[in-house]
Amino acid sequence: KMVQELVSGPSVGMEITSCDSQIEVLREFRNLCGPSDPEIAKQIRPKTIRAKFGTNHIQNAIHCTDLPDDV
């Protein structure tokens, strides 16, 4: 279902970087995205992208990997 959702409409790919080597970009981006389940995000991280715009675990507004190999 997730792949089907990802290809069902327009997508924007981004490479997120920082000029400041002290900033852990991936960690900060994950914090901005919030938990992958929007219902959990609404309870514990209500200001995150997924809490604000996600509708369910599949349609969670934004994809952000949590796999170390994907970095």
pLDDT in tens, the chain (71 residues): 878 888 888 888 888 899 999 998 988 999 999 999 999 999 999 999 999 999 999 999 998 877 767 66
Q: Which of 31, 46, 63, 65 is catalytic?
A: 63
- The pTM assigned to this predicted structure is 0.81
C-alpha to C-alpha distances, 55 to 14, 15, 24, 50, 59, nearest whole angstrom: 22, 25, 28, 8, 6
Residue 1: name the closest of 59, 61, 41 by CA.
Answer: 59
Decide if 63 is catalytic. Answer: yes
Radius of gyration, alpha carbons of the chain: 13
C-alpha to C-alpha distances, 65 to 4, 9, 15, 49, nearest whole angstrom: 17, 19, 12, 14
3-state secondary structure of 41: helix
